[in-house]
Amino acid sequence: MSNTKEIITLQFGNYANFVGTHFWNAQEHSFNYDPDVEEPAEINHDVLFREGKFFKNITFTPRMLLLDCKGSLKYIKESGNLYSNISLERNNPEKNLLDQVIHTIDWDEENIEVMESEEIPMTDYQRSLMETDDDDEKIFDLKSSVQNWPDFMYTRYHPRSINIIKDYEYHNDISTLDTFSAGLQLWNNPFFEDDYCDKIRMYIEECDQSQGFQTIFDSIDGFSGVAIKCMEYLEDEYSKSILAFPLIPNRTKTFQFADEGMSETIRLVNLAFSYAKLSEHSSLFIPLSTMERGWRNIGEPRKFPNMSYESDNLYHSSSILSSFIDTMSLQYRLREHSSQNYLSNFCAQMNTYGRKMCGGKTSLPFPMQEKEDLIEFLDKFDGDLMQSISPNVKIGTDRIVQHVTLRGLSKTRLKKPLEKAKDQMKMAAYKCTSISEMLQLYFQCNTYASLSHVAAVGSPLQVKLPFPKEFFDSRIASNGFLREFQSEEKANVREVPIMTAVQNSSELANTLENLHTHVERVKLAKVPRFSDSGLEKEEYKELLEQLLVFKEQYDENSFL
C-alpha cells in the first residue's frame, strides 16, 4: 500500500491560472526521468498528480481543476491538448478535420451551417513544445509575448481539468465577472454546480486517503464568490483540510461599465467578502500578492534583492508567487513522511485560536554565496532574510508562529568538517548536525517568544523555460547562489535555493482592522451591481461584523 496522501488543487480566475500554470510547470520540471538514480526523489509527485490512461498510453496529469472565462483558452481546446481526438486525425491526415466531422454527422449535408470562428494561431513557444523535446537553448521573448496563461503552459492537463464559464467572456482590459455575489449566482446555476462538483468527486474517488484541498483564487473579482461557494461545498461534503491562497494581481483591470474609482470599490468589497468567508470555510489562508498594498489603491510593488522583475507583468509576478506556493507546500508533499507532515497538521499548527489568516514571506533566491556555508552565512547576514508577499501584512519577530521551508541546500553546505572548521568551531551553531536544526537555532535566537517549524529539502527549485529566469540579476550564478566575483554577464540560471515562511502573529490584527475601516466607508447603495446580483443589505452588515469578529481572534490575549 502506498503511503501517498493526495491533494486536489483548485484554481479560480485568470491570475490564479497564471500562478497555477507556473506551479505545474515547476512540478513537471522537477520530475526525474533518469532510471539510474538510486535514491527515490524527496518529493512525492503522486500527491499532486494522478496516473491515467489514454489509448494505451500512460498519462501523468495534475489532480487539478481550473476555471476561467470563455476565450481565455485561446488555441487550447476545452478538452485540453493531451487527450485529443487522435482517431480522426489518424484515419485521414490529408483531409480537413472539419470536413471529416461533417461527414460523420447524420444530417442532410446541405442543411449544415458551419459557423467557424477565426483560428487563433499558437505562440512560438507552444509550437516548439508540439514539435520537439524541450531544449532550454531556444529563446522566446516570453516576457513581452505572454498575454495569457496558455502562452507559457508546459504541463498538459487532463480533459477534466479545464472548466470554462460560457456566460462571461475574457477581455484583455476589462473583467466581466465582477462581483462576489455574481460569483455566488454562477455557482448556484444547477448545471454549473453539478458539473463542477462531479469533477471534484471523480478526483477524490480516485484517492485512497486524500489529505485535502489547495485552492488558489482571484480575490478581487467575481471568482472569489465561486471559490468561496466551492469551499463551502468541500467543507460540507468532504470535511478535509482546505488551504486557500487568495490572490491580488499586480495589474488590475477595471470592471465592465465602471470607471477606476468604482472598480476600486468593487474590488475592495469582493476582497472583504473573501477574507470574511475564508475565516469561516477554509482551514488556513495565505493572501498573496507582489504588491505591498492591496485594498483600495493596489500599489507599491515589493522589491526583492538580487532580482528585477517587471512590476506590472503578470507573467513575472505570478512566477514569484508560484515559487512560494511550490516551496511552502513541500511541507506536506515529501516522500519521507513522519505522520506530522500532512496538510491537516500543517493547518492545525498554524491556525491556533481561529487565526486562520497567515502571512507569507519568501526569499528568492536564498542569498547565500557560492562558497559559503550556512553557518557562516547565518552568522554574517544582517537584515531581512525574507520579503513579505502578503498585501498589507507586516510581521515582526515577536510572538510569531511560523513554518519555514528551505530548499536547495545540500548537507555538505551546512558547515565545514572538523579538520577544516577553524573559526566555525567557536560558533554555538557548530554542534547542529542538520540544516533544519541550525535554522531552528537561528530562529530561536532571532525571534522572541515564538514557535518555528522548520523543514529543509535538498533539491533546489528548478528554473527552466518557461520560468522567467531573466529577472535574476547578474550576481546570481547558474546554480542559483551569489557569485563570489562580480560579473557583468548574466549567467544561465538553472536552479535556485529558496526559502519561504508562513507566519502568524497578532500583528495581523492591524491588517484586518485596516481592511475593516476601508470597507466600512463603502456605501453599498452606490454600487447597484451588488444588489443586482442578489446581495442583501443585511448580508453586508454581517460581513462587516464577521470581519471584526475575525480580527478579535488576533488581538493580544494571554496565550500569545
Q: How far apart are CA 69 and CA 150, in angstroms?
A: 13
The verdict on 532 binding another protein (CB under 8 A) reads: no
Tell me: does residue 79 bind another protein (CB under 8 A): yes
List 132, 135, 166, 420, residue binding another protein (CB under 8 A): 166
Please say which residue, 259 or 382, places its beta carbon nearer to another protein.
Answer: 259
CB of 244 to another protein, least distance (A): 15
CA–CA gap between residue 471 and residue 457 (Å, rounded): 24
The yes or no reply on residue 60 touching another protein (CB under 8 A) is: no
95 lines the binding site for another protein (CB under 8 A): no
Which range touches another protein (CB under 8 A), out of 237-245, 311-319, 462-470, 543-551?
A: 237-245
Nearest distance from C-beta of residue 233 to another protein, angstroms: 10
End-to-end CA distance of the chain: 41
Binding flag, residue 333, another protein (CB under 8 A): no
Residue 278 buriedness (CB in 10 A; 0-12 / 13-18 / 19+)? buried
CB 26 within 8 A of CB 462: yes
Cβ-based nearer residue to another protein, 98 or 425: 98
Cα distance between residue 362 and residue 453, in whole Å? 15
Q: Which of 91, 239, 338, 558 binds another protein (CB under 8 A)?
A: 239
Query: Please, what is the minimum distance in Å from the beta carbon of residue 280 to another protein?
Result: 14
Q: Which stretch binds another protein (CB under 8 A): 305-313, 340-348, 441-449, 507-515?
A: 340-348
Please state, as a whole number, how many other Cβ atoms lie within 10 Å of the Cβ of residue 37: 9
Nearer residue to another protein within complex by CB, 186 or 288:
186
Q: How far is the CB of 532 from another protein (least distance, A)?
A: 14
Amino acid at 256: Q
d(CA 22, CA 28): 10
**How many Å apart are CA 451 and CA 504, to the nearest integer?**
10
469 binds another protein (CB under 8 A): no
* H helical segments located in 221-309: 223-238, 260-281
The residue from 201, 303, 537, 541 that contacts another protein (CB under 8 A) is 201
Shortest approach of another protein to residue 67 CB, angstroms? 17
Q: Do the Cβ atoms of 333 and 62 come closer than 8 Å?
A: no
Asked if 149 is part of the footprint of another protein (rule: CB under 8 A), the reply reads no
CA atoms within 13 A on the CB side of 230: 35
Contact indicator for 165, 177 with CB cutoff of 8 Å: yes
CA angle at residue 213 from 388 to 83, to 5 degrees? 110
For position 237 contacting another protein by CB under 8 A, the verdict is yes
Q: Which is nearer to another protein, 134 or 206 (CB)?
A: 206
Shortest Å, Cβ 125 to another protein: 16
SS (H, E, C) 147-183: CCHHHHCCCCCCHHHEEEEEEEECCCCEECCCCHHHH
Among 9, 14, 27, 210, binds another protein (CB under 8 A): 210
348 binds another protein (CB under 8 A): yes
| 102 lies in the binding site for another protein (CB under 8 A) | yes
Which of the residues 366 through 425 are near another protein (CB under 8 A)? Answer: none
Q: What type of residue is 269?
A: V
CB neighbours of residue 450 within 10 Å:
17
Let me know: does 250 contact 312? Beta carbons within 8 Å.
yes
Q: How far apart are CA 536 and CA 530, in angstroms?
A: 8
* Angle value at C-alpha 559, between 554 and 560, nearest 5 degrees: 55
Taken in order 156, 287, 494, 403, is the CA torsion positive or negative?
A: negative
Q: Looking at beta carbons only, is 238 or 430 nearer to another protein?
A: 238
Closest CA to 230 of 273, 210, 200, 208: 200
- 97 scored as a contact of another protein (CB under 8 A): yes
Note whether 82 binds another protein by CB under 8 A.
no
Q: Which stretch binds another protein (CB under 8 A): 255-263, 416-424, 451-459, 542-550?
A: 255-263
Among 34, 36, 94, 119, binds another protein (CB under 8 A): 119
User: Which residue among 82, 204, 544, 548 contacts another protein (CB under 8 A)?
Assistant: 204
Check if the beta carbon of residue 267 is closer than 8 Å to that of residue 222.
no
Cα–Cα separations (whole angstroms), residue 352 to 167, 245, 247, 402, 503: 40, 18, 23, 12, 12
The count of chain residues that interact with another protein, using the rule CB under 8 A, is 67
Closest CB to another protein among 203 and 304? Answer: 203
Number of Cβ atoms within 10 Å of the Cβ of 507: 17
Nearer to another protein, 82 or 421 (CB): 82
- Determine the Cα–Cα distance for residues 464 and 496; give it in Å rounded to an integer: 11
Kindly write out the interface string for residues 283-322 of this chain, putting x where it contacts another protein by CB under 8 A and - elsewhere. x---------------------------------------
Task: Give 525: exposed, middle or buried? Use CB within 10 Å, 0-12, 13-18, 19+.
Answer: exposed
Do residues 435 and 414 lie in contact, with contact meaning Cβ atoms separated by under 8 Å?
A: yes
Residue from 155, 241, 265, 440 in contact with another protein (CB under 8 A):
241
Of residues 86, 202, 425, 428, which one binds another protein by CB under 8 A? Answer: 202
Segment interacting with another protein, rule: CB under 8 A, options 125-133, 194-202, 390-398, 502-510:
194-202
| Contacting residue, 49, 342, 472, 554, with another protein by CB under 8 A | 342
- Residue 115 sits in the site that holds another protein (CB under 8 A): yes
* Positions in the binding site for another protein (CB under 8 A): 1, 52-55, 70, 73-79, 85, 88, 97-98, 101-102, 104-107, 111-120, 166-167, 169, 171, 174, 176, 198, 201-202, 204-210, 237, 239-241, 254, 256-259, 262, 283, 339, 342, 344-345, 347-348, 352
